[in-house]
Amino acid sequence: MLCAPTARAALVLCAATAGLLSARGHPAPPEPPRFASWDEVNVLAHGLLQLGHGLREHVEHTRGQLGALEQRLAACGYACKEPAGAAAPPQASATQVPSGEAAPKALRSLQTQLKTQNSRIEQLFQKVAQQQRHLEKQHLRIQHLQSQVGLLAPMHLGAGLAKPARRKRLPKTAQLAGPAHNISRLHRLPRDCQELFEEGERQSGLFQIQPQGSPPFLVNCKMTSDGGWTVIQRRQDGSVDFNQPWEAYKAGFGDPQGEFWLGLEKVHRITGDRSSRLAVQLQDWEGNAESLQFPVHLGGEDTAYSLQLTAPVASELGATTITPSGLSLPFSTWDQDHDLRGDKNCAKSLSGGWWFGTCGHSNLNGQYFRSVPEQRQQRKKGIFWRTWRGRYYPLQATAMLIRPTVADAAS
C-alpha cells in the first residue's frame, strides 16, 4: 500500500482497531470477577494510563502521516486533471500514476478509503480518551480509599493489640464452648469491660466496646479481682482543660491514656437500663488515698444525664431534699445550668461540669492546681470532695470507674 506506516506502528494500529471492532460486533463473554490487592490495582492503573498516553501519541503520529499523504494525493489529482497532451512529470511512470479517465476514479476510491480509515482512527482516539478519563477517575478513587484505610489503621492496630491477650486468657470453659458460641462472639464487640472480664480478660488497657444501640468506641478498662471496670474520668497532671461546655461533656474529651472525660452519652449507653456501681478514687498531695463505691443509675440527655443516687450518697453530694427513693441529680455546665441552686450557676461560679447539688459538696472536674492557692475564693474552684479533705483542699489525682452490678451483668 502506498501509505503503509512502519511495521511496529501498523501492528499497534491494527490491533487497536481490531479490538475496537470486535468489542462492537462480538462482545466476549464476561469473566468472573477477581479481587486484586491494592498494589495490583495501583500497578494496573498506572500501566493502563501509560498505555493510553502511548496509544494517543501513536494515533496523533498516524494522523499526521495520513494528512501528509492526503496532500500528496491532492497534488497528484491536480496533475491528473491537466490536458491529455500535457507533459507528465519526468519522475512519474505509467505504472505509478493512472492515465486517462481511470486516474480520477482511482484517486476518489483511495481518498474514500483514507477518509474511512481516518474516521475509524478518530473513533479509536475518542475511545482512548474516554478510557483515559475513566482511569484517571479510578486512580483518584483508589487514592481516596487508601487515605481512608490509613486513617482507620490506628483503630485496627489498637484493637489488634488488645485481642491477642484476650484470646490467650480465655478460660477453659469458654475454649470448650460449642462452635455457634464462638462464631457469634467473632461478629460482635463486648458490651463493656465487665463483659470482657467474664470472657476471661484479666489485663487492664484500652479496648473497643460496643454497648447496645451505640457505635463502637475505645475505653480504658481496669481489671480487678471482682470484675471489669470502665474508667470514665481521670485527673492527674492538669494537662487537659476540664472547663468545657455541655456538648464537650456529652461527647467526651482528652486522652484515654492520660487525663480524659469519657462522655456522658457513652456512659449512659454503657449503663443502659441496668443498675451500676460507681467507684470514686481520690488522692491528696501527701500520698493518701481514698476509694468510695455506691450504686447509681445514669439517665439520658432528656433527663440532663441525671445521676440516680440512694439517700446516703445523695446527702454527701449536696442534696437538699431526699425522698425514700433517693435523689435525681442532673449534670450542669457553665452553658447549661441544671444544679439545685436557684440563685447561682455552680459550674460558672466554680469550674468544669459536674452533678452539682448546692455547689459546695464535690467537684472532681474543677480547676487543677499544682500548688494550693493562697486565696480561699480561688481554692474552692479546684478539685475537691468535701467529706474527705474538705472543700478548700485541691486534690492531686482522681479517677471515676463504673461497672454494672453482678446480677445485671450476668443477665
Q: How far apart are CA 254 and CA 222, in angstroms?
A: 18
Alpha carbon 153 to chain centroid distance?
A: 9
Name the band, by pLDDT with cuts 50, 70 and 90, for residue 313. Answer: low
* The pLDDT of residue 328 is above 90: no
The structure's pTM equals: 0.55
Least confident of 5-14, 34-43, 315-324: 5-14
Q: Which tens digits make up the pLDDT trace of 249-302?
A: 999 999 999 999 999 999 999 998 888 999 999 999 999 999 999 898 999 999
Q: Do residues 282 and 293 lie in contact, with contact meaning Cβ atoms separated by under 8 Å?
A: no
Q: Which tens digits make up the pLDDT trace of 149-207?
A: 554 544 444 444 444 444 333 333 233 333 333 333 455 799 999 999 999 999 999 99
**CB-based burial of residue 154 (10 Å sphere; 0-12 exposed, 13-18 middle, 19+ buried)?**
exposed
Q: How many residues appear in the chain?
A: 411
pLDDT for the residue numbered 23: 45
Segment 86-106 mean pLDDT: 52
Q: Which tens digits make up the pLDDT trace of 399-409?
A: 999 999 865 55
Contacts of residue 332, defined as CB under 8 A and 6 or more positions apart, other chains included, come to 304, 338, 339, 345, 346, 347, 353, 354, 355, 356
Segment 43-64 mean pLDDT: 67
pLDDT for the residue numbered 200: 93
DSSP state of 380: T
* DSSP string over 199-249: TT----EEEEE--TTS--EEEEEEEETTEEEEEEEEESSS-S-----HHHH
Least confident of 73-77, 119-123, 269-273: 73-77
